[in-house]
Homo-oligomer: A and B are copies of this chain.
Amino acid sequence: MSTSVNSTPVNEKDEQVFQDLKLLNAVNDRYGGVIVEVREAMDSALFGSVLRASIAQWRHQGKKGVWIKLPIQHVNLVEAAVKEGFWFHHAESNYLMLCYWIPEGTHTLPANASHRIGISAFVMNEKREVLVVQESTGRFQGTSVWKFPTGVVNEGEDICAAAVREVKEETAVDTKFIEILAFRQSHKALFDKSDIFFLCLLEPLSSEVQKQETEIEAAKWMPFEEYKAQPFVQKHELLKYIVDICLAKKDGNYSGFSPVPTTSAFSDEKNFMYFNTTDLNGQ
């Protein structure tokens, strides 16, 4: 996405500018569409005219999808694009992505990110105590439920790094990531998005607990049996599975998925692949 509107500046002589600025510059994408990135201020009525003429040309060229990336400083152009038939695709804090489909029929434009990713951290010490917190905001506020530290995996953050970070932030305990024991997918979560949370096993590297000030009411090490005996844990199928899996890991022979760094097929960047290394290496 590296194209700009033609660089003739907008000035008082709109008629003249209009003649210079007949079409928007665009780059082709890999799917028969075009991408416009607005880089300069424009009058909104002029933008509407230029956009209309550009669509006519792209239609003539057989183009399919049209994307307009509109930085927030050019917010004055949003209404004009919508008037030309564009709809919202997605937005980030500093830009809005609009899109349009030229051919007849249903569009095949890809959807934006659909899932939020979370972690829940199972951290047990040598005394069979588990690291737990009470939250001071959100659903659990005022419920007195002791729960594993949880948190959101940020865009661009590895799941294994997020688990270590969240435990540190909420309890000040240092940990080492071991493996993913299970995960759960759910739907219609925040902003109607889907959600996957990964149950992570971490090994404690320190023991002193200090709760985070703003979102954590209390944090401590609690005997696992006491955690398990909480009515909230006993009552919910999901939490009963989590208890069973954690105990199978500690006392039995349970293998989860461990992170292994790999390079992707299309770049040299290292990413983590997670799989059952116990079984794979045992072949």
Contact = CB atoms under 8 A, between A and B. Distances in A.
Interface of A: 30-32, 72, 75-76, 78-79, 82, 87-97, 108, 110-117, 137-139, 141, 152-159, 181-188, 190-194, 196, 214, 232, 236-239, 241, 244-245, 248, 252-257, 260, 262-266, 269, 271-276, 279-280, 282-283
Contacts of A108: 214
A111 B271 CA distance: 22
A30 B138 contact: yes
Contact of A72 (B88, B191, B193): B88
Given A111-B116, A155-B187, 9 more contacts: A78-B79, A111-B152, A114-B154, A115-B153, A184-B272, A184-B273, A238-B262, A248-B280, A254-B283
Contact of A271 (B89, B186, B256, B266): B186
Which of A252, A256, A279: most chain B CB closer than 10 A? A279
A253 B279 contact: yes
Copies in the assembly, this chain: 2
Contact of A238 (B116, B232, B264): B264
Nearest to A274: B183
Which of A79, A94, A182, A191: most chain B CB closer than 10 A? A191
